[in-house]
Amino acid sequence: MGEEAPEEYDLDMLGGGEHERVMEWEAGLPGGDELTPLSQPLVPAGLAAAFRIPPEPGRTLLDVHRASAATVFRLRRASSSSSSSFPAFAASKGADEAESGGAGGGGGGAASEGGNGNNNSSSSKRARLVWTPQLHKRFVDVVAHLGMKNAVPKTIMQLMNVEGLTRENVASHLQKYRLYVKRMQGLSNEGPSPSDHTHLDVYKRQMHHHHHAYAAVSSYPHYHYADK
DNA sequence: CGTTGAATAT
DNA sequence: GATATTCAAC
């Protein structure tokens, strides 16, 4: 079976709701089902013809996504060049974060401390990035929406929109994630081992095992101090 | 040129 | 094992 290019973008964003969103931005706005579908022109064809309005160019979900990504990218640039410390822009702060597991999320709420602070410009070596479950979820969401075909490091990095996250960080993680996916497909219907791991499950187990200081329940990248 | 991806290093 | 770095290839 070959590889094909399914131009598929399963956007449950307009109706689903299992995605992380900045709810404050959406407060008071009409829901997706109350809005005119993208495929439907704002001006009826007959009326448009009567007033000699040229037909609107069809706007696909992909177009909207591109525009959105471009906007987000511009904002990201502007905010990062404006000041050295991160402004609040990555996403999800405080009152969101709904895991599919629900109450099982083992989390406590212990924020990580232990000497982590701000990397000042003097040290050129960046600390080691830790892929928290939150970060990983963002990564997986973006990859899923892009499709394996278009999911390349730079694009993923831009759409994740996480301050401080580099293309290299994503590339490295993507390499591992692809191996994981391949393994899963290889054992798609085989279940010889009772330990059926879901990527997120894997991460949850790791978190549970590391009962220690790490928790970092934010969508910012978590760095581990390793100055040289 | 910049980006990607696999191998390799820490 | 997880993440970083390197480097041939595109």
> pLDDT tens digits, residue range A171-196?
999 999 999 998 887 776 676 655 55
Which amino acid residue lies closest to nucleotide C6, measuring CA to C1'?
Answer: A168
> Hey, what amino acid is at A59?
R
Q: Which residues contact A198 (CB under 8 A, 6 or more apart)?
A: none
- Output the pLDDT for position A148: 80
CA of A179: nearest nucleotide by C1' is B6
In terms of Cβ atoms closer than 10 Å to its own Cβ (0-12, 13-18, 19+), residue A133 is: buried
pLDDT of residue A89: 35
Using one digit for the tens of pLDDT, what is the confidence trace for A130-158?
998 888 989 999 999 988 889 999 999 99
Our measurement of CA A172 to C1' C10, in angstroms, reads 19
Query: Angle between the A167-186 and A133-146 helix axes, to the nearest 10 degrees?
Result: 70
Distance A61 CA to C8 C1' (A): 37
Q: Which positions in strand B are less than 7 Å from the protein's CB atoms?
A: 3-7
Of the CA atoms within 13 Å of residue A37, those in its CB half-sphere come to: 3
Is residue A130's beta carbon less than 7 angstroms from any atom in nucleic acid strand C?
yes
pLDDT at A114: 38
Statement: the CB of A202 is under 7 Å from strand C: yes
Average pLDDT by stretches of 10, chain A with 228 residues: 42 44 60 59 63 56 58 50 38 41 37 40 77 90 89 94 92 95 79 57 53 45 54
Q: Give the 3-state secondary structure of residue A222.
A: strand
CATH of domain A133-217: 1.10.10.60
**pLDDT for position A59:** 52
The C1' atom of B1 and the CA atom of A93 lie apart, in whole Å, by 39
Looking at residue A143, what is its pLDDT? 93
A125 CB and strand C closer than 7 A = yes
Q: Strand C and chain A: which residues 65-104 have CB closer than 7 Å?
A: none
pLDDT of residue A212: 46
A105, A99 Cβ separation under 8 angstroms:
yes
Q: Is the CB of A173 under 7 A from strand C?
A: yes
The gap between A139 CA and C7 C1' (Å) is 26
Contact status, residue A38 vs residue A60, Cβ threshold 8 Å? yes
